[in-house]
Amino acid sequence: MSTAELYGDVVPAEIKLKIDQSKDTEKVEERIVLSSVNIDKFKNAFLYITQKIGALPNVGQTVLYKILYFCDFDYYEKYEEQLTGALYQRNHYGPTPIEFGEIIAQMVGESKIEVVKSSFFNHEQTKYMPMIAPDLSVFSGQELNHIDQVIEKLKNKTAKELSELSHKDVPWITTPEGKIIDYESVFYRTADTSVRVYETETA
């Protein structure tokens, strides 16, 4: 895929056709309430990520949105299973977890996190400081190792860099503005964001 295609939100015709055909066979729900176990995983993933990198100067709300997104969508691409089950909406600056505000409000009320207003290169920044340790027992070893890999890969990127990266991701490109991003579209990713090694078809 060329740079023009990526930044112009253009998907190669053959990929778009496959995605359209897939969506014809299964209607994507506009809103699904997360189960309690998934909310628990989301909360503890958020605590774990903020515990590890929340104090870094570049890590504010936008960076956390993207790290959570890549944790969830990369895991689904690699293992065909959900990590937290969170739903993400296509917004102008990239994927946004739609339950984020509600869940964070719960965590603030439970004294699990503190919201701190700061700035980074003269831009207003919302940071989150964990007040308790995450419960890592909710994750398998595979899940925790995956989260660590995503953190290590993305922790030093700015909000702008991560937004640009998410704009190269087929799931974001193929979703209309304001709509929920379909997890199944990870299987149509290009080399820019794909994290799975697929077997090459042979004649």
pLDDT in tens, 47-95: 999 999 999 999 999 999 999 999 999 999 999 999 999 999 999 889 9
Q: Is the predicted pLDDT of residue 115 greater than 50, yes or no? A: yes
Residue 118 three-state SS: strand
- Is residue 17 assigned to a domain? no
* φ/ψ (deg, to 5) at 90: -75, 120
Q: Which amino acid is at 185?
A: S
Please give the pLDDT value at position 1.
Answer: 43
Q: Is the predicted pLDDT of residue 114 greater than 70, yes or no? A: yes
pTM confidence score: 0.82
Exposed e or buried b for every residue in 6-16, given b needs 16+ CB within 10 A?
Answer: beeeebeeebe
Give me the number of domains the chain comprises. 1
Q: Which residues span the domain enclosing 39?
A: 32-188
pLDDT band at 124 (very low <50, low <70, confident <90, very high): confident
